[in-house]
């Protein structure tokens, strides 16, 4: 029986349906990063209202941009969920088909090493857990991109405070 390492198995699941995986990965990174846009737009609105820095397009245009940014985020989130669940269902089907094919290749007189109830439980729960793992990779990447952009924005606003907050966070952990 051929066994795969974790990364090779992950890669094989991704290769089975790369379009769905890449779609939900890109939408996940965009969805997380787009959560920064409303803050930047609100900053421009408040700067315009206080007179600190008049906004070029105007307050009402910025309000429309804020609504459009939020709608784009919602559409991206819904599309991501559809793509991610489609990828997971295909991965479940791939893993279950491979497991059943492997069981059927055994000689008829050789029993499974586990009870039938345990085998069925593994076909349900373990397969779902294994196929969920690839969907965590875009989650980690999305949060890393979000953090990098947020730190860059904070640094552009006030470098000293950004560095002070960073050092306080390092001291607490």
Furthest-apart CA atoms within the chain: distance in Å: 84
**Alpha-carbon gap, residue 91 to 127, rounded angstroms:** 8
Residue 91 burial (CB count, 10 A): 26
pLDDT, residue 55, reads: 61
Kindly state the DSSP code that residue 125 receives in the 8-state scheme: I
User: Helix or strand or coil: residue 101?
Assistant: helix
User: Can you list the domains of the chain with their CATH numbers?
Assistant: 6-172 (1.20.1560.10)
Confidence (pLDDT) at 86: 92
* Integer Cα distance of 111 and 118 in angstroms: 13
Q: What is the pLDDT along the chain (173 residues), one digit of tens a residue?
A: 567 788 888 888 899 999 999 999 999 888 888 888 888 888 888 877 777 766 677 778 888 988 998 898 899 889 999 999 999 999 999 988 888 888 888 787 677 788 888 888 878 888 888 888 888 888 898 889 888 988 898 888 888 888 888 777 766 65
Q: What's the pLDDT at 22?
A: 92
pLDDT for the residue numbered 171: 66
The C-alpha atoms of residue 156 and residue 151 are separated, in whole angstroms, by: 9
Contact assessment for residue 62 and residue 48, using Cβ atoms and an 8 Å cutoff: yes
- 46 Cβ neighbours under 8 A, 6+ residues apart: 52
Supply the DSSP string of 109-122, one letter for each residue. Answer: TS--SS-HHHHHHI
Which of helix, strand or coil describes residue 58?
coil
């Amino acid at each position: 029986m051929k066994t795969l390492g974790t990364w090779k198995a992950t890669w094989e699941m991704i290769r089975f349906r790369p379009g769905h995986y890449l779609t939900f990965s890109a939408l996940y990174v965009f969805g997380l990063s787009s959560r920064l846009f409303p803050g930047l737009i609100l900053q421009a609105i408040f700067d315009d209202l206080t007179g600190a820095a008049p906004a070029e397009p105007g307050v009402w245009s910025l309000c429309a941009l804020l609504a459009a940014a939020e709608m784009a985020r919602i559409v991206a989130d819904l599309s991501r969920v559809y793509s991610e669940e489609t990828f997971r269902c295909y991965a479940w089907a791939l893993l279950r088909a491979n497991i059943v094919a492997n069981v059927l290749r055994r000689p008829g007189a050789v029993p499974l090493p586990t009870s039938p109830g345990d085998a069925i439980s593994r076909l349900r729960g373990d397969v779902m857990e294994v196929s969920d793992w690839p969907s965590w990779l875009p989650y980690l990447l999305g949060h890393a991109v979000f953090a990098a952009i947020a730190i860059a924005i904070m640094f552009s606003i006030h470098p000293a405070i950004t560095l002070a907050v960073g050092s306080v966070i390092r001291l607490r952990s």
